[in-house]
Structure 1
Amino acid sequence: MTIRSATDSVTILTGMYAAEAEYLAAGGPGEAPFDLLAPFFAPDVVLHQADALPYGGTWRGHEGMERFFLAMSQVWESFDMADQEFLATGETAVVLTQVRARARATRRELAFPLLQRIKVEGGRISEVRPFYWDTEAIAVACEESGGRRGR
């Protein structure tokens, strides 16, 4: 097992977030190629979203990540990630992000913290576990939206 330095993990994560911003600015799912993000994720990446969310469930592999981004884009009109703080030790990183979002179906706006525990192995993101401050508030704000669950 190769242990990456904390600097490597932060570099990979900042690169991924920049690529995600480019991907979304280019229109996101259906408009922009997932190839912008794919290099940052291991082929067997696993994303665990809280079941209470409209896009809850476990999303696996690059295909799962593409479906996740599609589900997110169906739920959120905007999802701006700002004021990020990174803490990384070896393969594990924690990212605290302040999110400002607007639900597509209800047009409700929310501001909330999002904490993500991310594993970086072999120079790629292998697992993501987001923790939302209040999943109920998010679900209520998006209640008319029907995101698809991952598999």
Structure 2
Amino acid sequence: MTSTHEAPAPDSLSVLTGMYEAESRYLAAGGPGRASFDLLAPYFAPDVVLHQARALPYGGTWRGHDGMTRFFLAMAEAWESFEIGEQEFLATGETVVVHSQVRATARATGRELAFPVLQTITVRDGRITQVRPFYWDTATIVAAMTRP
């Protein structure tokens, strides 16, 4: 008698770790507009939803792989550089909370900025289904990106 069992989906933290490694490869290959989103696609559900703060130039809701591709392009238009430094992860079930320190340079002004971001990320069946970043101070971020 044989039985077939599906392999269990990877845990949420493993999915996030893999996605951040793939994101590094994506950026090293040229990033938005140069590298293919195919490097990241396996980590995101086809119907993934990203909710960005509306106050930001790339704010709003981005849906699906096409939305994620357009989001990465919008980020590249807004930032000359965007580096994620120290990160802390807290995973429970489908939810991962990621606290990151970001250093970035605004493309329009050349201003450098360091700021924390807290993200809640939902992982189901081994893929990211929702991302919701929270910024401590969107006004400071927008000011750094805006010419006087």
TM-score clears 0.5: yes
2:136 counterpart letter in structure 1: W
- Once the two structures are superposed, residues 63-93 of structure 1 have per-residue CA deviations (whole angstroms, 9 ceiling, x without a partner) of 0000000000000011100111000001011
Aligned to 1:78: 81
Alpha-carbon displacement from aligned partner over 1:6-29 (angstroms, at most 9, x marks no partner):
x81111101111111111121111
- Name the counterpart of 2:13: 10
Once the two structures are superposed, the pairs formed by residues 35-54 of structure 1 within 5 Å of their partners are 35-54=38-57
Matched residue pairs, number?
Answer: 140
Say whether 1:102 aligns with 2:105: yes
Which residue number corresponds to residue 25 of structure 2? 22
Distance (whole Å) between structure 2 residues aligned to residue 64 and residue 78 of structure 1: 21
- Using the alignment, how far apart are the partners of 1:66 and 1:44 within structure 2? 13
Amino acid at match of 1:115: L
Q: Distance in 2 between matches of 1:62 and 1:45?
A: 7
| Residue number among 84, 95, 99 corresponding to 1:92 in the alignment | 95
Structure 2 unpaired stretches of 5+? 1-7
Separation in structure 2 between the aligned mates of residue 140 and residue 116 of structure 1, nearest angstrom: 22
Do residues 111 (structure 1) and 114 (structure 2) align?
A: yes
TM-superposition CA deviations, 1:22-77 (whole Å, max 9, x none): 11121111110100000000000000000000100000000000000000000001
Corresponding position of 2:3: none
What is the rounded CA distance, in whole Å, between the counterparts of 1:36 and 1:84 in structure 2? Answer: 22
Which residue of 129, 139, 142 corresponds with 1:136? 139
Letter in 1 for 2:25: E
Distance (Å, rounded) in 2 between the aligned partners of 1:13 and 1:132: 19
Amino acid at match of 1:33: S
Task: Give the TM-score normalised by structure 1.
Answer: 0.89
**Structure 1 stretches (4+) deviating beyond 3 angstroms?**
none
Specify the SS of the correspondent of 1:51.
coil
**Identity value in percent:** 71
Q: Which entry has the higher C-alpha Rg, 1 or 2?
A: 2
Using the size of structure 2 for normalisation, the TM-score is 0.91
